[in-house]
Amino acid sequence: MMSVSLRRLIIVPFFALALITGITMYFVATTTMSNIADKVGLQYIHEVESRVQERVRSFMSPLLRIVEVNQQSFLARPNELNDLSKAAIRFHEQGMPYRQMTFISIATSDGRYLTSVQPPVENRSHHIATNFVHKPLTMEGFEYDPMVGIGNKRQQDAEFTYDPRLRPFYQSAVGSKVPVWGEIERYYGYDALGATLSAAIYDDNDELLAITATSVALNALDEYLKSLEIVDGGYLFLAEGSGDLIATSSDTELFFTQDGESKRANLHEHQNDFFRLAGDHLEDGSYSLSYNGNEYLYYVHPVNFEYGETWLLGVLIPEAYHENLLSDYNRSSVLITLGLFIFISLLGALIAWYIGKPIQLLSAATSNKRLESIQALPESISSVKEINALNQGLKEMADDLSDVMHNLEAKVAERTILLQGENETLLESSIKDELTNIYNRRGLKQGFNRVVGVENEQKNSVTLVLCDIDHFKVFNDKYGHSEGDQALIKVAESLKMYSRAGVDIVARYGGEEFILVFSNMSLDHVLERLNGIRQELKNTELAGKERITMSFGVAHHESSDSMQIEDLINKADEKLYEAKNGGRNKIVS
């Protein structure tokens, strides 16, 4: 099976895990960011839209309320229509707080007309105009007098014929029980659009008594949209369903003159590309639009007013704006991912270090099969408890094993010494004669080889003497075997006495036969020593004051080179035979 190091086993999965986590997190983060970018964009749009909606509603609200109040007021007190002075005061007071309120009026079915009016743009002067003071159908301007309602006639207002019943605001309201919206139009002679709401007043018999109408100048809304600080490259607009613009955040005009006629700017034909782009999508909803390779978020939503009036509010912003905003977050998410990746990798490496390193130490210590390597391991090799316990266990085992081995070695040494002693004893006894404690035949052979034979490189002279006790049978028979043994021991001692210890060889050849080997000694000196032995035996008393004699056969050889012991023994035996035959107690050489 394939083997893999522990450290790799830990680091590789950690690294892989970190990599997968990092990549996953990166993609999740970027996808989430992209979704968030869209959502943030839409959220932004909704916020802008809701602010504008609220502002538009609060802007238009007085118009609706004033028309409703006046309609209800005349319905409740139709007599007021007979003297419109009170109404003049009310109209004036109603219009004063609202700079956008261009006129608040009433036109009776008999052709009388009263309006509290102010111009739709700067340098406004609020005044009352009526046609009912002098003669019907003639419009005259009067100063407003808070005390009497209608003050002095305004000199500069030339008389002109005016029948309010011919005006669209009058006619559009006829026949309706509820207020009716008029067309949004440019005020004649002014750079401003106006929206008008009219309401009919009937008597109990449903006879039309009057039409009250109020108009509001919309240029304040245009100014408001322009004043809003929206994102770079973003646009806002208010338009009618037809695409005719009411207000925009851009500097473009809301109306222009074509062929001498004043026309309103329309989204579908607008000179601004983005407004034209928006004009293609006027259904309620949000859109992603592409223009010149850039993406835009576009949202269009209706602004509904009571009594059936609906405008459209459009918001268009470049997506890049929010993506840029979120790019910082994106960068952060990449950095966090990277940090996480590095952290997990380091964690893996740390764990590998904590676990792998000490285990590697243990592995190295045990692999060379030496107890010392394990014993030399430090007491603590890891912060991991289990690994330290393993280390301790191994060390204790190594110590125990070491002790056992030392004891074993001591015992083996002791036994070896004992055996060596026994061996030596055995060896000694195997080459010694048990009775006389001199060499036996085996000892003789070994000694001969050592002193004069193959093992000795100095090829000196050698003399081998074969000696035999004379008439020993008789002695034995006479004094017994035990005394015979004592005689043999005595002979051996005498032979040893006249030989050089450690140099010459003294051996029992068998029975009562002995052999002496002298090396590097002249024949005369040998004979001298043999005579010494004979003299010694002569002086030695044995059982029954008996003395024994010995016969000697001597074989002398000047050089031990190529000399075999058997040859010497044979030669000495011949001489011994001669000595025996010659009467015994003799030395024959």
Ligand X SMILES: Nc1nc2c(ncn2[C@@H]2O[C@H](COP(=O)(O)OP(=O)(O)OP(=O)(O)O)[C@@H](O)[C@H]2O)c(=O)[nH]1
| Site residues (vs ligand X, CB under 6 A) | 468-474, 476, 481, 484-485, 488, 511-512, 580, 584
CB of 475 to ligand X, least distance (A): 8
Residue with Cβ nearer ligand X (94 or 476): 476
Residue with Cβ nearer ligand X (333 or 494): 494
CB of 428 to ligand X, least distance (A): 20
The DSSP-derived string for 360-412 is: HHHHHHHHTT-HHHHHTS-S---SSHHHHHHHHHHHHHHHHHHHHHHHHHHHH
Number of Cα atoms under 13 Å in the Cβ half of residue 518: 24
How many CB atoms lie under 10 A from the CB of residue 184?
19
- Burial of residue 405 (CB within 10 Å: 0-12, 13-18, 19+) is exposed
CA gap 229, 117 in Å, rounded: 33
CB of 479 to ligand X, least distance (A): 9
Residue with Cβ nearer ligand X (463 or 476): 476
CA gap 91, 214 in Å, rounded: 10
> Is the distance from CB of 100 to CB of 216 less than 8 angstroms?
yes
- Which residue type occupies 375? Q
CB of 489 to ligand X, least distance (A): 10
Residue with Cβ nearer ligand X (481 or 545): 481
- Burial of residue 223 (CB within 10 Å: 0-12, 13-18, 19+) is exposed
Residue with Cβ nearer ligand X (16 or 474): 474
Residue with Cβ nearer ligand X (180 or 469): 469
- Burial of residue 580 (CB within 10 Å: 0-12, 13-18, 19+) is middle
CB of 577 to ligand X, least distance (A): 10
- Burial of residue 524 (CB within 10 Å: 0-12, 13-18, 19+) is exposed
How many CB atoms lie under 10 A from the CB of residue 186?
17
Residue with Cβ nearer ligand X (68 or 512): 512
User: What kind and span of H or E run contains 319?
Assistant: helix 319-367
CB of 513 to ligand X, least distance (A): 9
- Is the dihedral angle over the CA atoms 364, 366, 368, 372 positive or is it negative? positive
CB of 529 to ligand X, least distance (A): 22
Per the document, the length of the chain is: 589
Residue nearest to ligand X (CB): 484
Number of Cα atoms under 13 Å in the Cβ half of residue 241: 9
CB of 506 to ligand X, least distance (A): 16
CA gap 534, 528 in Å, rounded: 10
Residue with Cβ nearer ligand X (511 or 582): 511
Residue with Cβ nearer ligand X (469 or 563): 469
CB of 540 to ligand X, least distance (A): 16
Residue with Cβ nearer ligand X (49 or 468): 468
CB of 526 to ligand X, least distance (A): 22
